[in-house]
Amino acid sequence: MDINTRVEQIGVVPVIKLNNPERDAAPLAKALCAGGVPIAEVTFRAAGADTAIKLMKEACPEMLCGAGTVMTTEHIDKAIAAGAEFIVTPGFDPELVAYCQEKGIAIYPGCTTPTDYHAAYKFGLKVLKFFPAEQSGGLAKIKAMSAPFPMFKVMPTGGISLKNLKDYIKCPVICACGGSYMVTADLIDNGKWDEITALCRQSVEIVKEARNNG
Q: Is the pLDDT of residue 104 over 90?
A: yes
pLDDT digits (tens, 9 = 90+) for 7-34: 999 999 999 999 999 999 999 999 999 9
pLDDT digits (tens, 9 = 90+) for 156-211: 999 999 999 999 999 999 999 999 999 999 999 999 999 999 999 999 999 999 99
Please pick, among 17, 54, 57, 129, the residue that the annotation labels catalytic: 129
Please pick, among 41, 57, 85, 153, the residue that the annotation labels catalytic: 41
> How sure is the predictor about 214, in pLDDT bands with cuts at 50, 70 and 90?
low
pLDDT for 213: 83
22 is catalytic: no
85 is catalytic: no
Instruction: Count how many domains the chain has.
Output: 1
Overall pTM surpassing 0.95 (yes/no) = yes
Q: Alpha helices of the chain — where are they, by DSSP H?
A: 3-10, 21-34, 49-59, 73-82, 94-103, 114-122, 138-146, 165-170, 185-189, 193-213
Q: Which domain holds residue 30?
A: 3-213
| Percent of residues, the chain, with pLDDT higher than 70 | 100
CATH number of the domain that residue 63 is part of: 3.20.20.70
179 neighbors 15 (Cβ within 8 angstroms): yes
